[in-house]
Amino acid sequence: GQEFQFGPCRVEGIVLQELWEAFWDMKDVVQAQDNITNVRLLRKEVLQNVSEAESCYLIHSLLKFYLNTIFKNYREKAVKFRILRSFSTLANNFVVIMSKLQPSQENEMFPISENARRRFLLFQREFKQLDREVALTKAFGEMDILLTWMETFYQ
Amino acid sequence: VPCISSGLPKPTNITFLSINMKNILQWNPPEGLHGAEITYTVQYFIYGQKKWLNKSECRNISRTYCDLSVETSDYEHQYYAKVKAIWGMNCSKWAETGRFYPFLETQIGPPEVALTTDEKSISIVLTAPEKWKKNPEESSISMQQIYSNLKYNVSIYNTKSNRMWSQCVTNHTLVLSWLEPDTVYCVLVESLVPGPPRLARPSEKQCVSTLKDQTSELKVK
């Protein structure tokens, strides 16, 4: 079957098509709640031209943030908008991916991990500049951008 | 002269029809205004940027579609579009699309399909569809260059036995073997890209006949 290869980090057992279908089921509902259309959190500068070596660090930071900040605080909305099944599918798959990612902590990888960190901070800073609820809704609605980037590492 | 935003009903069903990155905004006229001379004005917006932009060729138009392919050609961006109806001095509120992501939402057109036959086999050569381009003189970009994981679903139908089967292929040539001689087979091909569900656009059905079995012909003589 297919697997993710984020540079040295390999993740098996994920069917990306299921994540797509889960997101697509709720895309219109979720994105319609985002009225701050002049802000994009996952801007091109965050995800464009990410090297293989950086990718494991970046996906680890992004998924950790999505799980610990966004999914954690969006659950009530998911119930309200009746998208809990899609919400759970995405959350559970992100947990599995996270559990299998082991970005190397060796010193010589520091410049690479620092690059990845800089990209993540671009995203996080933009997130923090928004009202909390607005930011959660926007980040949740931008998972199509995140999945599109993740797909490039799925072989 | 700016129109007055009145109680004029909005256009309805505003959506993007996107095929191979040719992105057409389309809508239905406002309800209840049959016979009225309605015109429309369109604007578009790039998600994450600052303001709505005009599309000059779609200002005060009477048709109910507007080609925004040029304005939405960076398919890694996401877009919104909106249209309002104008009747005399009155205009409706804006009717707006959802967020449109060409990279994920464009329909992938069918490939070109070339068939050559033998006694017991049919060779199929597929050519990926081309991305929309502004001018015919521009160099062509294959949709394969945009979607490296582009695949094809080839459906084959034996008109004699009424049997049908499908194969999913990634490369551009395919040989169907162990066929029956002197039999008409019909072939239909659809482009597929993993990811969000997309509407399929199958190719025209093409039918060819395998050649007569030469060995049985010789025996008869």
ipTM of the complex, rounded to two decimals? 0.93
Q: Do B196 and A23 touch (CB under 8 A)?
A: yes
Asked whether residue A15 carries a pLDDT value surpassing 70, the answer given is yes
Residue with tokens 């991916």: A97
In this prediction, residue B13 carries a pLDDT of: 97
% residues pLDDT > 90 (chain B): 84
The CATH number linked to A85 is 1.20.1250.10
Buried (b) or exposed (e) across B22-46, using 16+ Cβ within 10 A? bbebbbebbeeeeeeebbbbbbbbb
Residue B128 has phi, psi (to 5 degrees) of -60, 150
Is the pLDDT reported for residue A63 higher than 70? yes
B34 touches chain A (CB under 8 A): no
The pLDDT tens digits for B68-90 are 999 999 998 999 999 999 998 89
Architecture category of domain B112-214 in CATH: Sandwich (2.60)
Residue type (1 letter), A92: N
Look at chain A and report how many structural domains it folds into.
Answer: 1
* CB within 8 Å: A24 and B47: no
Would you call B52 an interface residue with chain A, using a CB distance cutoff of 8 Å? no
Q: What are phi and psi of B73, to 5 degrees?
A: -80, -20
Range of the domain at A123: 4-151
User: Chain A 108-147, CB below 8 Å of chain B: which residues?
Assistant: 141, 144-145, 147
Is B202 in CB contact (< 8 Å) with chain A? no
Query: Smallest Cα–Cα separation from B102: which of B68, B134, B128?
Result: B68
Task: Give pLDDT, residue A148.
Answer: 96
Question: Domain B4-104's class?
Answer: mainly beta
Question: pTM for the full model?
Answer: 0.92
Determine the longest span between alpha carbons in chain B, in angstroms: 88
Task: Decide if pLDDT at B218 tops 70.
Answer: no
Handedness of CA B60, B66, B71, B76 (dihedral sign): positive
How far lies B218's CA from each of B15, B184, B214, in Å? 62, 22, 6
Distance from CA of A17 to the nearest CA of B (A): 6
| Block residue for tokens 């995203």 | A123
Q: What letter would DSSP give residue A8?
A: T
Residue ranges covered by each domain of chain B:
4-104, 112-214
Structure tokens at A115: 């690059």
The mean pLDDT of A143-152, rounded to a whole number, is 97
Q: Does A23 touch chain B (CB under 8 A)?
A: yes
| Nearest CB to A37 within list B80, B194, B195 | B80
